[in-house]
Amino acid sequence: MTESNEAPPFVDIINGAMEFTIPAAAKMGVQAVEVRRGFAATTVPIEGNGNHFGVIYAGVLFTVAEVLGGAIAIASFDTSAYYPLVKELTIKFTRPAKTDVRAQAQVSDDELDRIANEAAEKGKADFELEAVVTDASGETVAVTKGLYQIRAIGR
| Chain segment 25-84, per-residue pLDDT in tens | 999 999 999 999 999 999 999 999 999 999 999 999 999 999 999 999 999 999 999 999
Q: What is the pLDDT of residues 121-137, one digit of tens each?
A: 999 999 999 999 999 99
Dump strand ranges (E) for the chain. 31-36, 39-44, 82-93, 101-106, 124-134, 140-152
Highest mean pLDDT among 1-5, 9-13, 46-50: 46-50
Domain boundaries, the chain: 10-152
pLDDT in tens, 54-65: 999 999 999 999
DSSP per residue, 83-104: EEEEEEEEEEE-S---S-EEEE
| Domain 10-152: CATH superfamily, name plus number | Hotdog Thioesterase (3.10.129.10)
DSSP annotation of 55 reads S
**What distance in Å separates the CA atoms of residue 73 and residue 40, rounded to the nearest whole number?**
10
User: For position 2, what pLDDT does the model report?
Assistant: 41
In this prediction the pTM is 0.91
Amino acid at 66: E
Rounded Cα gap, residues 131 and 93, in angstroms: 12
